[in-house]
Structure 1
């Protein structure tokens, strides 16, 4: 008997039916039976008379029911006690086995037997044609319908729970699959990134150039890694390099011995076909190595500017399909402090924060119509060619402190939304700020203007500081230059041995006060 009960409980666990659910169904059934208007005492008396009249089979049936109830009670108490004692430990579950075929047929026979027994009991108790028995039968039918409906609701809840568990399992599987794909993609990107970085460290120019294009492909296919790719390209351009046209005083490359220079020289033919080059009698030449490195650096510059070129329309929407932006459409940052750049072209580009401090610009440096959405730093920068900042837009502060402009510098129609600092800057040729908008403070403290300088129609909204500014007067510098309102040039000697005629900028009220003091001093002298 105990084996049968254990199999019954295992079957319940296998079909995922909770004991608490069975207890609830039993309580609902008892309540429904108690609510039905039936004379249960008469029904029990009739059932007892039927058992007595049945003789031995009836008593055997009653005894079997009692034994089953007693065994079930004892078994339940024992299991409850064992569960309370072993609540900390997890009970090991046996392997899940499918429901045997005989259990299905046994359940069908049990259902038929219960239905036949219930029908026999109802007919025996309410089989007469009296109206009262008819009402009782109708009430029993209604109670049975309610019980069946309750069971159906319980079955629906179990089915919904099973469906939800299945869907959650599928979602978890999909999420795990997506995480696995993401991890695989990240590993692949990391491997490609590492391989490209190793290529940039190669002593062969074609290998370094291949590494640059590999990095570009990674950034094109992985938007989340674009800032990292830009940072690596900027780091490569910040590496020490001596430009062929640079002044030896500007050389940032460590001095190498003759033997090291010979080993470092890598002509293109020697890189691609060393045996053929050696057979042709070619030797490794440092100038060729320098030329190849210049081509690699120009490639890095072009890759940067191509993906920062927005070509925005009238609504400010970028139209360039190769334009790169950061997360949530933010602009990418540039860190080229101390870099050596050749014919730099950032025209019509959009960047976030930009650092060009102490950078060397050889050839033309184009920044026209560029948008600096973050801080722009050009402090200590050296412009050895034409510096074009026409129509540039500086959304935050812009620093040109101690900048050195060896060629013409044009800032026509540029907009500085915050402070513009040109203190200690040297303009060796013409500097034009026509129609420039200074919406913050304009600081030109102790700047040196060697060429023609113009602030025609410049718009100053903040404090303009031109104290200590020196301007050369014999290089076509107009005598009535359109300086900011309140400033004028007074010819003076800088006292440091400079060639030519120079003048310094002073506030207009200072010159008027000096002139008035001079007139007052001349009047007593004339009277004497």
Structure 2
């Protein structure tokens, strides 16, 4: 869960000023009066110094006019002290009123949060939708609730869910009705479809508030910065994360049904997709992974990692690509691990840039494996890699040649 601001500690009335960070009224007035006296005395001596100290002379009796002037001066000093006291008191009253207003606002926000979360557990989908919109409005108005609201939305998406559609070849068939359709009970038969709409709304909520217009521009007012998302084990349908920028993300064991789009997404921290399942196609075109990226034991369909930048270690070991996969122009700034991957379709690493070590140990390529114009800074490791499709020599990395393209263990030797 995200960090929350702690509510002020309850104190007795006599110590309430400590909660607001204020002095006691006695201490504040004493300090103000003392400061006023010191300033007046300092001003008096400064004036004497500027005008020159008068010579000592015999005191003369004061006439009526001088007495009146002296009384006016005394009254002015008393009025000044009174005004100072009134100013201190007014400031304290205003500060107390502001704190009370802030506290009332926080209490009201907490009440709204509790009510919205309760709505998410309602039997009717329309009520659950209302709960999502209430949470969204609350987080937009109160930034300290944004991580908490995001956690709640992610938790909702992690709840068990059975898609109302039957998958065919990894794609969700939208033309079919739910298998348990019962004409005599429309409310019950429509429940899976209604729940799907609630979950799609939750996904769009995350998309809306994690989207940046451009890395070079100011983010829109709807952007929630510094947010972590945890969709471990979530069932996501037609998941769109285009141009989103969370801080950290977890998609461990998530099931992506339909088309999944992460084009232009920017992940500031580590990202984990380990053991995730992409039943349909997936696109990460132009995405940027600044932290460690884990795609360990992931099952992909048709997949594109074109022009992706991996700033830290990228792990694809033991992943299965059941369709074609492309890494055209991908940039790996750190080590990349493709050990024991299985590619049933074509795999293209054309123009890919490998800045450090890259490992393809025991990789299995069922289709064309193209490394045309790829650049390797260090010697890649293709130990026991197998390409069963009869390709030309150029499909392997430039300056590398497969001695046995088809066979149990392709041997790669460096070109002369």
- Alignment-derived partner of residue 415 in structure 1: 309
- Unaligned segments of structure 1, at least 5 residues: 1-16, 22-35, 38-134, 251-264, 268-280, 495-499, 517-528
1:59-458 equivalences in 2 (<5 Å): 136=58, 139-140=59-60, 158-245=78-165, 282-283=184-185, 287-312=189-214, 315-318=216-219, 320-321=220-221, 323-325=222-224, 330-405=225-300, 407-458=301-352
**Which structure shows the bigger proportion of residues in helix conformation?**
1
- Unaligned segments of structure 2, at least 5 residues: 1-32, 38-54, 171-179, 405-410
- Alignment-derived partner of residue 466 in structure 1: 360
Partners of 1:266 and 1:289 within 8 A in 2: no
Partners of 1:412 and 1:436 within 8 A in 2: yes
Partners of 1:350 and 1:372 within 8 A in 2: yes
CA distance in 2, matches of 1:142, 1:397: 89
1:491-502 equivalences in 2 (<5 Å): none
- Quote the offset at 1:468 in angstroms: 2.4
Match of 2:190, SS? helix
Larger Rg: 1
CA distance in 2, matches of 1:266, 1:144: 106
CA distance in 1, matches of 2:386, 2:337: 23
**Which structure shows the bigger proportion of residues in strand conformation?**
2
Partners of 1:357 and 1:377 within 8 A in 2: yes
Partners of 2:351 and 2:371 within 8 A in 1: no
CA distance in 1, matches of 2:371, 2:227: 43
CA distance in 1, matches of 2:71, 2:94: 34
TM-score (norm 1): 0.56
Q: 1:117-137: CA deviations, max 9, x gaps?
A: xxxxxxxxxxxxxxxxxx85x
CA distance in 2, matches of 1:502, 1:240: 45
- Quote the offset at 1:487 in angstroms: 4.3
CA distance in 2, matches of 1:479, 1:203: 53
Match of 1:334, SS? strand
The 1:181–1:484 alpha-carbon spacing in structure 2 relative to 1, beyond 3 Å, is same
Match of 2:213, SS? coil
Partners of 1:434 and 1:456 within 8 A in 2: yes
CA distance in 2, matches of 1:352, 1:198: 28
CA distance in 1, matches of 2:385, 2:109: 63
